[in-house]
Amino acid sequence: MKIGIMSFAHLHAEAYIENLKQIEEVELIGIADDNEERGKLYANRYGARFFYSYEELLNENPEGVLICSENVIHRPLVEIAAATGVHVMCEKPLATTLEDGRAILRTCEKAGIILMTAFPMRFSPPIVETRDLLRKGGLGKIYCCNSRNQGQMPKHHREWFVDRKLAGGGAVADHTVHLADILRWFLDCEAKEVFARSNRILHGDEVEVETGGLIMVTFENGVFATIDCSWSRPRRYPTWGGLALELVGEKGVLNVDAFKQNITIHGGSEKHAAWSYWGSDSNQLMVQEFVNAIREKREAVVTGMDGFRALEIVDAAYRSIETGSPVKIS
C-alpha cells in the first residue's frame, strides 16, 4: 500500500513518518511540501523522496495520504487528494473555520474517500480503558469532568503555530480539540453550550495570539466539563505537554493521565530532565488504523465528522471569548 505525506509543517509528521516505516505493508512514497527548504530538510533527515508539488506526489497513485500542513491549508489539500480518489488522514484541527470544515466533509463524501481526523488519544490505552469502564457503568452517572491538555509554547517547535492566519488562533485552536473529542466519545453525547475565557498572561510578550484558555462545555445530557488548553508548560519541562482528566460520577472519581507511563531521565544530551515514554505508541496505533481502514474498505474509527464536532466546540469558544457570553451549538 502506497502512502505519502502532504506537507511537513506540523511537528507530528516527524512521528508519523516513523510510524509508517514500522508497517510492513506500507510503502512510504515520500514527502511533498510547498516549502521546498522544509520539505527537503525532512526528506533528507528521514531518507524519503521529496516531491516539489502535491500533484507530483499524487501522480504516484498513493492509496492514502497524511496531511500535516498548516491548519488553514487543510481544505485545499484535502480537495486535491479527494479529486484523485486518495484517502486522507488529516491533522487536527480539521479546519480553521466551520465553512471549511463543512466543505471538507462534503468533498470527501462526494468523492467516496475515507476521511480520518488525527486524534491519537482515541488509541491511548489509559483513555480506551476509561471509556470501556464508563460503558460498563463503572462510575454510574457522570456529573462533571475537569480536564487539561497543556503544552509548551509551540513557537519553539514551529513558528506558524502562533500565526493566527495559519493556525486559526492560539492555544484554544491548538489544544482544545483532543479533549473535545475525548469527552464526546466518553459521554456518547454532543456539546450544546460553550463558555470560554482566554488571555495572554503566559508568553504574551512573544506572540499575539492567546496563550491561556479555559473552555467550559455543557453537554446535551447535562454533564459539565472544563478544558484547560493553555500553553503553560515551561520550555525546560521534561516533555511538550500532556492530557489528563478527572471524571466525577455517582460511584466515585476517576483520574486518568494519558502520558503517565514514562521514565524521567537526567543528563544525557538534554540540558534538563527529559521523559522517556515507555507506554504504547498511540500515534502508531492511529496510523495503523488508517491503513487498516483503507485495506478493509471501511470507515475509520475516528472520522472527519469527529474532527468537525470538535471544531464546533473551538468555534463556539472563540465566539464566547469575543462576546463574553455562553454560546449555543446548533
pLDDT of residue 36: 97
Please state, in angstroms and rounded to a whole number, the distance separating the CA atoms of residues 180 and 186: 10
236 pLDDT band, cuts 50/70/90, is confident
Mean pLDDT computed over 272-293: 88
Model confidence over 181-228: pLDDT tens digits? 999 999 999 999 999 999 999 998 899 999 999 999 999 999 999 999
Mean pLDDT computed over 260-265: 78
Residue 267 has pLDDT above 80, yes or no: no
3-state secondary structure of 190: coil
Whole-number mean pLDDT of the chain?
95
Model confidence over 309-327: pLDDT tens digits? 999 999 999 999 999 999 9
- What letter would DSSP give residue 280? -
pLDDT of residue 288: 98
State the burial class of residue 250 (Cβ atoms within 10 Å of its Cβ: 0-12, 13-18, 19+). exposed
* Distance linking the first and last C-alpha atoms of the chain: 40
Mean pLDDT computed over 87-107: 98
β-pair partners for 6: 32, 67
Mean pLDDT computed over 265-273: 71
Write the Ramachandran bin of 299: left for phi over 0, alpha for psi from -120 to 50, otherwise beta: beta
Model confidence over 140-184: pLDDT tens digits? 999 999 999 999 999 988 999 999 999 999 999 999 999 999 999
The architecture that CATH gives domain 121-279+310-328 is: 2-Layer Sandwich (3.30)
Mean pLDDT computed over 22-51: 97
Cis peptide before 238 (omega within 30 of 0): no
Mean pLDDT computed over 16-29: 97
pLDDT of residue 164: 96
Residue 85 has pLDDT above 70, yes or no: yes
Cell of 222: 447535562
CATH number of 2-113: 3.40.50.720
Q: Are 219 and 143 in contact (CB under 8 A)?
A: no
Residue 270 has pLDDT above 70, yes or no: no
Q: List the domain boundaries for the chain.
A: 2-113, 121-279+310-328
Residue 275 has pLDDT above 90, yes or no: no
pTM of the model: 0.95
2-11, 24-33, 198-207, 286-295: segment of lowest average pLDDT: 198-207
Q: Which residues of 109-132 are buried (b: 16+ CB within 10 A; e: fewer)?
A: eebebbbbbbbbbbbbebbbebbe
Cell of 173: 485552536
279 pLDDT band, cuts 50/70/90, is confident
Q: Percentage of the chain with pLDDT > 90?
A: 88
pLDDT of residue 4: 98
pLDDT of residue 100: 98
* Alpha helix segments (H runs only) across the chain: 13-21, 36-46, 54-58, 74-83, 98-111, 125-135, 164-167, 171-175, 177-187, 282-296, 304-323
pLDDT of residue 241: 72
Please state, in angstroms and rounded to a whole number, the distance separating the CA atoms of residues 189 and 179: 14
Residue 286 has pLDDT above 90, yes or no: yes
41-45, 49-53, 126-130, 155-159: segment of lowest average pLDDT: 155-159
pLDDT of residue 237: 75
pLDDT of residue 280: 82
